[in-house]
Structure 1
């Protein structure tokens, strides 16, 4: 029987193999947009009625601080946003938002300089707001900070484990390779409440697709003030796949054998014909 990769194994796989130094080749925007509209039409369409009227179209933004994260073919992936960049005056050539979400929320620019650098603070020990879309006093404070957060209850994926591994991987890769917010990630690991249940803390602004990063936000309270961090959610094309294998065991060697006797046999593993890509096998 073939078991699926555990979430932690998948994340370590990503950290080991998806960290090239140089930017990859931007994936084709037309293919990315068409895939999103075909497979996630509840969220991705040619335009959104919830964003400013001057430009409601859907765009694929390929230049970002995650351009160095590539697949086995050297492709890097972008973000799907509606409308145009906007917000505060640019800092370091970046605007605070790179567009809007389908529901009209500001789409966070992960490359915009942080309002407050964490200066090496432990990410896992911060006072993160659980269920920011809920009704706790902390969640109500989050929603009160921006009128558009009234859409929390209908955004796709909030609280769902569907994107758990993609969130874990996105946080570790972004936090480990990008000094934009200055957190230390060593204690964000399997077995901790935050890591194992990260989907309960991340509000999804835009869900990931096969060829586009998703984006989310988390909030923590410090000295009575509310702060947010951006959470990139990894696209399906960068997540490891479970090999589709067939096995063949030499069963004739087990016929009429006395209990306790050692038997040497051969097991043949073969990728099924419809498996979409080659896989490297490790035998231990």
Structure 2
């Protein structure tokens, strides 16, 4: 590490299983002068496990913009710094963006170390298309903002990846069902790499029902993966079926109206529901 200015290392850390640390990460921890951590106590346990003792610098959501300039100054003075988050890859729904941006503007070398990331780990085990996807992080905590966000994503054809908290997952799935319908396939990956890891998939309506049956199923760190909107099926609906859908949807929610018409006329209820969304407002 012979450089006139310091290097900022972006170091991924385990998301649960401590064996998921890389040898390169441990080498970098041993050599840097300072470790910028989201929660110094939490990260202290990880480094203590591997017998690494280094000075910490607290960098979190509430102070990052103010402290970024100070870290850049230290780097310019030749201090080598490792940036870590509580778990996984820094900057992925975690602090670090402002520091990295200022480093690049200042011409400071930024070296990323690959490693654990909950979103990618869950995606590769989901069985949902992984060639094109959108990482949306955490949805808004407030119901209206969350519903508006999901409604804006309802037409997205790429796989969607979300993080969610244990106390909001059921409400979120209710809102997902409202926005996307209950027939889309989704996977909930919980406590990835940890003792109680579970990866459960089903259509949204049944997945939500399954979760609600046992409070233990809603505990832990969660990644929710939802298939994108399927390509529109070129279905030519019977005129009588569409008339029935329009009339019934005036008296009942569109989802219920679509289910009734689907049973009467032999169509897929999700196809009718999508038709109603696109044509009846």
- The interval holding the TM-score normalised by the smaller chain is under 0.3
TM-score by length of 1: 0.26
TM-score by length of 2: 0.26
Give the number of the structure whose alpha-carbon radius of gyration is greater.
2
- Larger helix proportion, structure 1 or 2? 2
